[in-house]
Structure 1
């Protein structure tokens, strides 16, 4: 084979590879945990883009020019929806006309879903399965690994329809990720079992999927929505409940100022302050981020509860 022929063949191979890459849709994901799961599904095919930076809260955060540019280049936007990413919700109209706007209620079939709660967790919301009216629901679904399994399966099916050439790879990746998620669930359940009955209070009611998945004992939340500061009555009621049970963990989040926890901390002498992070703000994005977020969350919570007297 002459040098010219070899170069011609190499050029043809490169062109075919380029066409394969171009054929894969540009997946853009709002939140780091979902981005991690999406990256596992698209491994070896494409690299999803992430909108929200690790320290950003999706509750009301606006988008920078670079983030808006990422959004407008999406072929598929994967997000939760206006009930969580309120700033993003105002900008989805900027998506290209051909883009797929794929939000929670497009992929929630078979997921465990719960209604929002009041600050004092007195009445447990019943899980909703299958058909429902899509009324007010707690949007933090990814904190239950069993919901994450449903998510990766649904994403693989969606991408397989949009990109049939890579359908087999998407579904194989999803199956591998589901196996890892099942192992993660078992590991976390074993880690949390010894502290399952010990009480804690969260900064805002964003953890009930995690609580219910592992049958934990949350007493309440300081705020229902992070944009509205707690009132004195809520602080007093939570303090009374905490002091009745003795020691309790007080859990704040890095996306929000811990100063709102100070009145409660002062009112609960036996409270142990600790930080939990449902978005992995200190962790690097990637296919294993989801596992690291939940493992860190379980370890932090278990360590705090082990120190409660």
Structure 2
């Protein structure tokens, strides 16, 4: 709903929001700015880019923390109640789902329905849909899956893969939804939100083209990763993604699963196993040691490291470089 009068409440609530984890706007910003809380980095990035100077954006997930495992302090939970908008991805972070339900049910935006989620196929994703320059949305199966999405997924994420932002097209769809919602909450600046999302959408389209061109001709299309976070990347760019563990990164692979992936790497002649910056590298190193493969880093872009110069586009371009090296792309 549109914003109402903002008397002393935002000034009292501001310290609660600022002492969350991280934030997009520096201290001393306009206290009358829209207060937006994003559950984790991909949504923080969108909110900052779209809201611009009209909002103070904070995140519930600090740099260096795996967003799947985030736990909220009482102060953070309380900050949700005083925010103008809470942006989250239901099923991605159980602690956030619980806090939204108790503190922010009337002013929260769940982005998952606009992301056209893919079903989680279990251990072995065979995503080979290829790159298509379409503006009409995604396939009917994904749309139907999204309609059936349940918020009570827990760490297993139910039957759906939540990592939609690794497909720039889906990420742009979510950005459009967020811009429309911001325009409803703050109609005074609606045109600015729409203008900002148009710029962002163009940038994401360019990034999509860059990834598609860079991954078009590769000696291998087999991508073996620590956990199964890259299904959308595989679906968009015709890569066969195999996660050593499943969707949940905290799951330990069984000896049988390690043997299965090791055999697959040897059978297909896979030369690279990809680790992640926010997860232990031991699993990837185990498979690499058994097969002679090298270990490179592929970032699911779900959280930042301590590197302050990193953002979503730079992460994705680093991923492109790592994939081109590991897959032998020309």
Q: Do the structures match in fold with TM over 0.5?
A: yes
Aligned residue for 1:277, secondary structure, equals: coil
Query: 2:125 touches 2:231 (CA, 8 Å); kept in 1?
Result: no
Aligned residue for 2:265, secondary structure, equals: helix
What TM-score do the two structures reach when normalised by structure 1?
0.81
Rg: which structure is higher?
1
Distance 2:31 2:185 in 1: 13
What TM-score do the two structures reach when normalised by structure 2?
0.76
Distance 1:181 1:50 in 2: 22
Per-residue CA distance 1:116-164 (angstroms, 9 max, x = gap) = 1222335879841267322521111111100111111111110111111
Which residue pairs with 1:167 in the alignment?
190
Aligned residue for 2:216, secondary structure, equals: helix
Q: Per-residue deviation at 1:72?
A: 4.2
Match for 1:133 among 108, 127, 148? Answer: 148
Cα distance, 1:194–1:138 mapped onto 2, change above 3 Å: same
Asked if 1:242 corresponds to 2:256, the answer is no
Distance 1:39 1:233 in 2: 44
Any unmatched runs of 5+ in structure 2?
1-29, 130-138, 151-158
- Equivalent pairs counted in the alignment come to 279
Distance 2:271 2:76 in 1: 39
Asked if 1:89 corresponds to 2:93, the answer is no
Which residue pairs with 1:38 in the alignment?
47
Which residue pairs with 1:121 in the alignment?
125
Q: Per-residue deviation at 1:172?
A: 0.7
Distance 2:308 2:180 in 1: 23
Distance 1:191 1:104 in 2: 29
Match for 1:274 among 296, 304, 317? Answer: 296
In the TM superposition, what are the counterparts of 1:53-68 in structure 2 within 5 Å?
A: 53-64=62-73, 67-68=76-77
Query: 1:250 touches 1:265 (CA, 8 Å); kept in 2?
Result: yes
Distance 2:128 2:147 in 1: 18
Per-residue CA distance 1:85-136 (angstroms, 9 max, x = gap) = 1222232245257x5121134x51xx44211122233587984126732252
Which residue pairs with 2:255 in the alignment?
232
Distance 1:93 1:285 in 2: 32
Cα RMSD over matched residues? 2.6
In the TM superposition, what are the counterparts of 1:1-309 in structure 2 within 5 Å?
A: 24-64=33-73, 67-68=76-77, 70-81=79-90, 83-96=91-104, 100-105=107-112, 107-108=113-114, 111-121=115-125, 127-129=141-143, 132-134=147-149, 136-195=159-218, 197-218=220-241, 220-224=242-246, 225-269=248-292, 271-279=293-301, 280-282=303-305, 289-306=311-328
Moved more, 22-31 or 63-72: 63-72
Distance 1:28 1:281 in 2: 16
Distance 1:112 1:133 in 2: 11
Per-residue CA distance 1:235-266 (angstroms, 9 max, x = gap) = 11111111011133211112221123343223
Distance 1:275 1:144 in 2: 18
Cα distance, 1:298–1:247 mapped onto 2, change above 3 Å: same
Any unmatched runs of 5+ in structure 1?
1-20
Cα distance, 1:285–1:48 mapped onto 2, change above 3 Å: farther
Aligned residue for 1:129, secondary structure, equals: helix
